[in-house]
Amino acid sequence: MISNRTPQVLNDIYQNYGQDIQVSITGDLLISNGSTRSQQRVLRRLLTSPLDYIWHTDYGAGVGNFVGQALSSDLFDEIRSLINSQIFLEDSVSQTPPPEIFLQTIQGGLWCQINYTENPTQQPIVLTFNV
């Protein structure tokens, strides 16, 4: 069966992780969609610790829980595996090609870069953050 429905545009409230909700110049809540929505959702999932959302106790990777641990190659592999297992739970992350995850120690923390492909646009996304 061929569907002639137009693709659904998904919107969220614009909110960078750890910051307040923002308003538009007209005073409405600022809306996030497309690649911005995808990046915000991936970052929120990776930095939220499991059990932090009491109604969704299985949500979150808790990458920030590694702060203070000695970063060995085994721990890098564990963090990469954790990111891979969580990132595919977001509908905006394409399964193919698989994401590339780069980790590097920095003064007082960890730098992370994730290269992934956004669904459904197949646009390449580069997401970087520090933990």
Q: Give the pairing type, strands 124-130 and 31-33.
A: unpaired
The single residue listed with the structure tokens 């915000």 is 40
Show the tokens assigned to 47.
């930095």
pLDDT tens per residue, the chain (131 residues)? Answer: 444 444 455 766 666 666 666 777 888 766 676 788 889 889 999 999 998 988 888 899 999 888 778 878 899 999 999 999 999 999 999 999 999 999 998 888 889 999 999 998 999 999 999 88
- If we measure between CA atoms, which residue out of 71, 72, 44, 64 comes closest to residue 56? 44
Domain range 11-130, its CATH number among 3.60.15.10, 3.30.465.10, 2.40.160.20, 3.10.450.40: 3.10.450.40
Rounded to two decimals, the pTM is 0.79
pLDDT score recorded for residue 116: 96
How far apart CA 26 and CA 65 sit, in angstroms, is: 39
- For residue 31, the one-letter residue type is I
CB 103 within 8 A of CB 80: yes
pLDDT score recorded for residue 19: 63
pLDDT score recorded for residue 3: 42
